[in-house]
Amino acid sequence: MLAILNMCVIMISVMRDIANTERQRKELKKAWENVHPVDRPTWEQWKRGIFTVPKTSRDRDFPIAAMEDRDRRAKQWAAHMAKENEKK
């Protein structure tokens, strides 16, 4: 009887861990989708945290302009995502 109870406790804790992992993955995927496609790394890179924003020649030559351009694209993408969420 005690063995069955222990197995049930273990199964419940494993199921809870699986649910938490799925929830964390969904949150990570949502954060990845909110990054502008131009600046977005691949899903595998994002998942593993091994990504850097690519530098272009414009970024090196005009860093302030590049930051402003990224801000502009980020705002456009945020507006696009807001419209997409309203449709749902």
- pTM for this structure? 0.47
The string of pLDDT tens digits covering residues 28-75 is 888 888 877 777 778 788 777 776 655 666 666 666 677 777 788 888
Q: Structural domain boundaries of the chain? A: 2-87
What's the whole-number mean pLDDT along residues 17-28? Answer: 82
pLDDT at 53: 58
SS (H, E, C) 10-59: HHHHHHHHHHHHHHHHHHHHHHHHCCCCCCCCCHHHHHHCCCCCCCCHHH
